[in-house]
């Protein structure tokens, strides 16, 4: 079985994260860029299965700037057997639709029985990409799973919602996304780092994927795309209104909320 895990390099969730005020892109230069934790959890699901099932190949796939090699190598150090990194200037600022198209094309090239992803990235938090990808691939998708069981012929798991839990299952091939209920990823170790250097890491461009006319710089106007028109810094917080209770605080609080259309 070949399991392809989607990973994303993001600015460290625990560090300062900023947007570039001209491009609207996440500032990568000023933050530590790391493998998104949720993607590492998805990788852990794959590696745990591979540990118990010899013959399973875990392949990591990412769309990321050229500088993301360190993050890809980390996934190889954790135990993935191979990696594909799509890096193309035409994908800077790509929206979810374009990213899904690119990932689908890459998956067609790699081949897969199961695609595993985190349910949403910690930077853009969109969460819809796995479903879009499944649509492109024409395979079932089982999203937001809090536990996953992988078998030769299919997957099953539990989706937890506000209203209850849903047991879902799907035959393979399929796309699955997991939540942070899944265990932390394992740690890399010295031998993993050294072994990673010898593992295949393929870097592809849009042209390599046969998508040369798709990039945002390629003038493709046939498909609707989300693009950033303007971005502004959040205005600094101003001092709020302090209501001192002289016996009528409740009334004044209600009046304040009504005045601001919050009631």
- 26 Cβ contact list (under 8 Å, min separation 6): 10, 11, 17, 18, 19, 20, 123
Identify which of 12, 81, 97 has the alpha carbon closest to the alpha carbon of residue 43.
81
Spatial contact of 218 and 207, defined as CB atoms under 8 Å apart: no
Q: According to CB under 8 A, which one of 189, 200, 225, 231 is a site residue for another protein?
A: 189
Distance CA 18, CA 30 (A): 8
Using the rule CB under 8 A, is 66 a contact of another protein?
A: no
Please, which residue, 160 or 201, has the CB nearer to another protein?
Answer: 201
Using the rule CB under 8 A, is 197 a contact of another protein?
A: yes
Alpha helices in 111-248 (DSSP H): 129-137, 190-196
CB of 229 to another protein, least distance (A): 37
CB of 188 to another protein, least distance (A): 5
Phi, psi angles (nearest 5°) of residue 253 = -65, -45
Number of residues binding to another protein, judged by CB under 8 A = 13
Site string for another protein, 200-239 (x = CB under 8 A): ----------------------------------------
Q: According to CB under 8 A, which one of 29, 52, 125, 190 is a site residue for another protein?
A: 190
Please, which residue, 11 or 173, has the CB nearer to another protein?
Answer: 11
Contact stretch for another protein (CB under 8 A) within 106-114, 170-178, 182-190, 249-257:
182-190
Residues 67-86 that bind another protein (CB under 8 A): 70, 73-74, 77
Give the Å distances, CA to CA, from 154 to 24, 118, 122, 232, 233: 40, 19, 28, 46, 46
Please, which residue, 20 or 28, has the CB nearer to another protein?
Answer: 28
Quote the tokens at residue 220.
């493709």
Please, which residue, 154 or 192, has the CB nearer to another protein?
Answer: 192
Using the rule CB under 8 A, is 15 a contact of another protein?
A: no
Q: Dihedral, CA atoms, 143, 146, 149, 153, nearest 10 degrees? A: -10
Please, which residue, 67 or 108, has the CB nearer to another protein?
Answer: 67
Identify which of 202, 40, 195, 18 has the alpha carbon closest to the alpha carbon of residue 118.
40
**Interface contacts to another protein, rule CB under 8 A:** 70, 73-74, 77, 187-191, 193-194, 196-197
């Amino acid at each position: 079985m070949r399991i392809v895990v989607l990973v994303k390099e993001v600015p460290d969730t625990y560090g300062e994260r900023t947007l570039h005020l001209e491009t609207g892109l996440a500032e990568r230069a000023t933050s530590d860029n790391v493998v998104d934790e949720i993607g590492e959890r998805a990788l852990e699901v794959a590696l745990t299965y591979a540990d118990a099932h010899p013959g399973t190949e875990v392949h990591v796939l990412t769309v990321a700037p050229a500088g993301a090699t360190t993050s890809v190598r980390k996934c190889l150090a954790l135990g993935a057997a191979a990696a594909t990194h799509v890096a193309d200037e035409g994908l800077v600022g790509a929206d979810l639709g374009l990213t899904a198209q690119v990932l689908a094309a890459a998956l067609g090239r790699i081949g897969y029985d199961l695609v595993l992803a985190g349910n949403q990235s910690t930077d853009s938090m969109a969460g819809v990409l796995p479903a879009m990808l499944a649509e492109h691939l024409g395979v079932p998708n089982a999203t937001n799973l809090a536990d996953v069981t992988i078998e030769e012929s299919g997957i099953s798991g539990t989706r937890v919602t506000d209203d209850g839990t849903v047991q879902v299952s799907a035959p393979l091939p399929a796309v699955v996304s997991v939540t942070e209920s899944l265990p932390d990823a394992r740690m890399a170790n010295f031998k993993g780092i050294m072994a990673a250097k010898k593992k295949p890491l393929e870097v592809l461009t849009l042209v390599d994927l046969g998508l040369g006319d798709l990039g945002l710089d390629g003038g493709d106007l046939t498909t609707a795309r989300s693009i950033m028109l303007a971005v502004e810094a959040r205005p600094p917080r101003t001092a709020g209104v302090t209501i001192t209770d002289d016996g009528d605080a409740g009334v004044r609080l209600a009046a304040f909320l009504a005045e601001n259309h919050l009631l």
